[in-house]
Amino acid sequence: MKIVTVIGARPQFIKACMVSKRLRQDPSIQEVLVHTGQHYNANMSDVFFTQLNIPKPDYHLGIGSGSHGEQTGKMLIELEQVFIKEKPDAVLVYGDTNSTIAGSLASSKLHIPIIHVESGLRSFNRYMPEEINRIVTDHLSSLLFCPSQAAANQLKNEGITKGVYATGDIMYDAVLHYKAKAEKQSAILSQLNLTLKEYYVATIHRAENTDDLTRLSAIMEGLSKLGKKVILPLHPRTKKQLQQLNAPIFTDKSSLLFIDPLDYFDMLALMSQAKAIVTDSGGVQKEAYMLRIPCVTLRDETEWIETVEAKWNRLADARNPTAILKAVQLAKEQSTYPALFGDGHSADQIYTIIKKNFPS
């Protein structure tokens, strides 16, 4: 069996490292790895392949940045040529990025079955490009691997019942596999002179928060009032937008510490010892839960509603500095910790189901 796997962004590298490792243990499966180049910064791409032992991509499309239409269009053109050349039995995509939707559309036009890892998520906000990507991909896919039962239930509500499996979250596999190694090998806490549970970690990258400078300024004002050091690994988009702001929060006396994007081990170690995490990232919300760290999400809604219902995650109005401050102050570890995302063996389940559905 030949599978073409399409990846292009940080969260996909983390997910793919676990699934690809399992698939390649089977000599009857040939995996062809395609990197679209959606994330091309060395700290957000190359280092993950090295650190997580992800095989070198068979194809690197080098698409780079651009508008959603431009980026997706370029990927469609290039991926179609790869699929025609490789003639795979299936195409494997992850999550909800432009790489995901491009891989799904190119596959469907060529009548190639699509395997979607991380199916069934919905924020119910169609202004989010990711929401459109995940809805379209789910409705095109032949095998749909859901990170939670709630995600599988959502697909059923949309009339998708065939090929749906609640396998747990593949990122939980990665957290369990790499957490101890990350904490042992990473020196990020000592490098930043941080005390355990005496700092916050924040990640901001979504267009809704970064492209509106008034909204971005409100977020930074709220973070600056937390009373403890706030570490912000900066996405390139966020860094570019912050350079346009000239506010007191950027003085040397500020509690905000802006740093370059971190590799997986450093980020995992940094998050695992934080007092709380503030983010607009879907992946970081999950990782916070998996690490049992309270989380505040700077969005009006989240596709990871289970974490909110479990009270480990809180939504906060990103336009209101006071609301951000209050949400973080209220964020705390809970006495209960439901197993929302499986048992850490999602890769094994995904492999078994693929083999069953695509016998060699």
Q: Which of the residues are catalytic?
A: 205
Tokens of 130: 């990711």
Contact 178/264 with Cβ under 8 angstroms? Answer: yes
Q: HEC profile for the chain?
A: CEEEEEECCHHHHHHHHHHHHHHCCCCCCEEEEEECCCCCCHHHCHHHHHHCCCCCCCEECCCCCCCHHHHHHHHHHHHHHHHHHHCCCEEEEECCCHHHHHHHHHHHHCCCCEEEECCCCCCCCCCCHHHHHHHHHHHHCCEEEECCHHHHHHHHHCCCCCCEEECCCHHHHHHHHHHHHHHHHCCHHHHCCCCCCCEEEEECCCHHHHCCHHHHHHHHHHHHCCCCEEEEECCHHHHHHHCCCCCHHHCCCCCEEEECCCCHHHHHHHHHCCCEEEECCHHHHHHHHHCCCCEEECCCCCCCHHHHHCCCEEECCCCCHHHHHHHHHHCCCCCCCCCCCCCCCHHHHHHHHHHHHCCC
Nearest residue to 250 via CA among 207, 227, 220? 220
For residues 111 and 104, the answer to whether their CB atoms sit within 8 Å is: no
The two three-digit tokens of residue 77, written as one number? 């053109």
